């Protein structure tokens, strides 16, 4: 794809910290930010709201095709039920295909005249933007990711159980990594950032150092 915008991709498993890193980096560099997971969530939410069957591929593709930027800010996207439905539509190759253009357009023509875009997700460096200028793959051991998710939910006042969260993350890792289309995997040229033993500040510094070097 020929483009003049700078594209940075940040992929990784659930709760590795990629969203925090991506948002920070985008803000720092004045780039537009796209949480690609929200597209799958918005697809699922549109489908649920229209009363469609979550296993109906045609209805799911219609929902994906109708997504508007405002849909990505809906607070309902974060609901547990929407997350589960999102993982189902995300396994449909037709839905992934339908959302590909949205993501590539965002990277090629970042909104509000931004000179670059940061995309985070599972396959942004491998499938969506294989020619990205800098690719990161952010990970952490599952126990640490579960611990962070537990603290995050507890801080929100939710009644959570540590063992259930750990089991849920393991299940989601397995589903994301083993699906036939665009499974979670680092791009060959991605910088691997393991945040298991890193505080957010150190992780952010390591990511920025890598990006600076790549863009120099």
Residues that bind ligand DC (CB under 6 A): 14, 36-37, 40-41, 83, 86-87, 90, 121-124, 176
If the CB atoms of residues 56 and 213 are measured against ligand DC, the closer one turns out to be 56
Identity of the residue, 35 or 194, whose beta carbon is nearer to ligand DC in the bound complex:
35
Cβ at position 15, least distance to ligand DC in Å: 9
Gap between the Cα atoms of 20 and 55, Å rounded = 31
- Taking the least distance from each CB to ligand DC, the nearer of 169 and 211 is 169
Question: Considering beta carbons, is residue 167 or 205 the nearer one to ligand DC?
Answer: 167
H/E/C letters for each residue in 106-157?
HHHCCHHHCCEEEEEECCHHHHHCCCCCEEEEEECCHHHHHHHHHHHHHHCC
């Amino acid at each position: 794809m020929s483009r003049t915008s700078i594209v940075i991709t940040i992929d990784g498993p659930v709760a590795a910290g990629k969203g925090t890193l991506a948002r920070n980096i985008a803000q720092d560099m004045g780039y537009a930010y796209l949480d690609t997971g929200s597209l799958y969530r918005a697809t699922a939410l549109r489908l649920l709201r229209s009363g469609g069957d979550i296993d109906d591929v045609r209805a799911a593709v219609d929902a994906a095709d109708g997504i508007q930027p405002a849909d990505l800010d809906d607070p309902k996207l974060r609901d547990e039920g929407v997350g589960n439905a999102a993982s189902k539509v995300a396994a449909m190759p037709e839905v992934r295909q339908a959302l590909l253009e949205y993501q590539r357009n965002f990277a090629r023509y970042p909104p509000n005249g931004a000179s670059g875009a940061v995309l985070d997700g599972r396959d942004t460096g491998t499938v969506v933007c294989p020619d990205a200028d800098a690719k990161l793959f952010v990970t952490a051991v599952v126990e640490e990711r579960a611990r962070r998710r537990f603290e995050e939910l507890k801080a929100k006042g939710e009644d959570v159980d540590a063992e259930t969260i750990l089991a849920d993350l393991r299940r989601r890792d397995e589903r994301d990594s083993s699906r036939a289309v665009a499974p979670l995997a680092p791009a060959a040229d991605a910088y691997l950032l393991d945040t298991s033993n890193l505080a957010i500040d150190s992780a952010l510094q390591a990511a920025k150092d890598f990006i600076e070097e790549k863009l120099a």
